[in-house]
Chains A and B, each alone.
Chain A
Amino acid sequence: MNAPTFPLHPALVMAQLAEMRDQFRPRAERAMGILRAKWFLRDCHLDWGVATYGRVVVDNQGVVELGPRLSFMGGMVPTTLTCHPGARLVVGASSHFNYGVSLEAWESVSIGERCMFASFVRICDRDGHRTAPIVIEDDVWVAHGAILMPGVRIGARSVVSAGSIVTHDVPPDMLAMGNPARTMSMDLVARGTGT
């Protein structure tokens, strides 16, 4: 009977405002992320739309090229990008990095487009014995705590499972798992969409 039908009822206005704020907040966070990226990644060749939502530590003495629309998540440990003199570290478009990812290039590390790196992934192209370039093709997902050893090439659309230590190349469309990582066909363990 006395239900508020007037459109400018205070509760309705507040609800409308709250909804607008919720819609706006991601954009505000993204704008902050882009600004933060400009600061944290000031030593890199930075393409547009790169956002960092936490601390990223960069030590660039070589060439670091970061593609468009990257995002670096924040967390308990900062992501670190290290590039030694004469080395190249290239990251393709639209890749995502969770916190604590450690990328280190002594010679060359190149990452394709639309890759995902979970927390505490370690990628370094030098160990105690040798230095060899690492190539990660497009659409690769590397899960939590995986370690990529020098000289490996991860094929497009492959997945590296959590905690794996990848010592050999992973062909495209494969799942790599274990220490040292073995690869199995993705068709063996994952159903395609709608099947």
Chain B
Amino acid sequence: MSTRDSIRSFIVDTFFVDEFGDDDSFLRKGLIDSTGMMELVAFVESEFGIKLEDKELVPENLDSLSRVVAFVGRKQALAKAS
């Protein structure tokens, strides 16, 4: 399963939302609340074996499916490089 598909299926299964596009803001569409965001962070960390710093938990990195996928990609590339 691709990164996008596994994150999307996690969101669908955990938050019972299905009708959202890759660029929809989780916050503005009311898809994920603050506790849910923590769950998403925990999922991303365990699923992809990366460690998110607290200062990286900002909307630019996590507020839509496409942003999360891009962010995970960047983190994985960084982890490989180091």
Contact = CB atoms under 8 A, between A and B. Distances in A.
Helix, strand, loop or mixed for chain B's interface? helix
A191 to B, nearest CB: 6
A15 interface: no
A185 B38 contact: no
B54 A188 contact: no
A177 B57 contact: no
Interface string B3-41: 000000000000000000000000110000111011001
A76 interface: no
B54 A189 contact: no
Nearest to B35: A177
A183 B54 contact: yes
A184 B62 CA distance: 10
Contacts of A171: 55
Given A184-B54, A188-B58, A177 B38 contact: yes
Contacts of B55: 171
A175 interface: yes
A177 B36 CA distance: 11
Nearest to B37: A189
A177 B34 CA distance: 9
B34 A183 contact: no
A8 interface: no
A175 B55 CA distance: 11
A48 to B, nearest CB: 37
Interface string B42-77: 000000000000110111001100000000000000
B38 A188 contact: no
B34 A191 contact: no
A183 B62 CA distance: 14
B58 A185 contact: yes
A127 interface: no
Contact of A183 (B35, B57, B59): B57
A190 B59 contact: no
Interface of B: 27-28, 33-35, 37-38, 41, 54-55, 57-59, 62-63
Interface of A: 161, 171, 174-175, 177-178, 182-185, 187-191
**Top 8 closest A-B pairs, CB basis?**
A184-B57, A189-B34, A185-B58, A183-B54, A188-B59, A187-B59, A177-B38, A189-B37
